[in-house]
Chain A
């Protein structure tokens, strides 16, 4: 049973066309929800951590929000350089030890074309 589900699997946007990526989770005892960006051939790069429902964080064209069961990554007026795979991960206390462990979704592959 997947604990973290991301949708859509792939998304193609024209430059400037805003959209949202979804991350839903089924764990309880959420300690934190993390968003990462991964470029081809590289490791994930940290974007945001959200801790409680209602929390929002922004960085340039990205804004992450959190509810009790899901998180959204909103991309406003994206540019081609925003093309990457966006990964969502959770740390939860109901799955045993959390030390160094994140549960990742499969990611959303975003392509922004000029």
Chain B
């Protein structure tokens, strides 16, 4: 069974640009969550999608957005990039995102903003 797949693996962008990251969850998983990981803050929750609907959202500015498609694949978009957006962006999937469900993580997209 294939794991969570994230593309691209690495991205280099400049300030002010926008970026789109992609995530394919484990087959059969309908919940997709996104996390930002930085050395200073650790893993911070961005948002969670289920059946194409955002059900939960962390404390990030509106520049961070996402969506989910009918096949459960998800994309995350960051507009007007800032230097502080440089981070590892992790996608995680679970069957339904419910209480006590463990999350399965992808290898992440390493974003560098210059």
Contacts and interface: CB of A to CB of B under 8 A. Distances in A.
Given A43-B105, A46-B104, A91-B99, A97 B42 contact: no
A43 B106 contact: yes
Interface residues of A, number: 28
Given A31-B99, A100-B97, A102-B45, A43 B4 contact: yes
The interface centre, meaning the residue of B4, B42, B50, B90 with most chain A CB atoms within 10 A of its CB, is B42
B42 A105 contact: yes
Contact of A43 (B31, B58, B98, B108): B108
Contact of B31 (A31, A32, A91, A100): A100
Contacts of B31: 99-100
B1 to A, nearest CB: 14
Nearest to A46: B102
A101 B102 contact: no
Interface string B75-114: 0000000000000001010100111101111111000000
Dominant secondary structure of chain B at its interface with chain A: strand
Contacts, number: 71
Nearest to A39: B107
Interface residues of B, number: 27
Dominant secondary structure of chain A at its interface with chain B: loop
Interface in A68-107: 87, 89, 91, 93, 96-107
Given A87-B43, A101-B58, A106-B42, A44 B100 contact: no
A65 interface: no
A108 B102 CA distance: 20
Nearest to B31: A100
B14 to A, nearest CB: 24
A34 B101 CA distance: 10
Interface of B: 4, 31-33, 35, 42-43, 45, 48, 50, 55-56, 58, 90, 92, 94, 97-100, 102-108
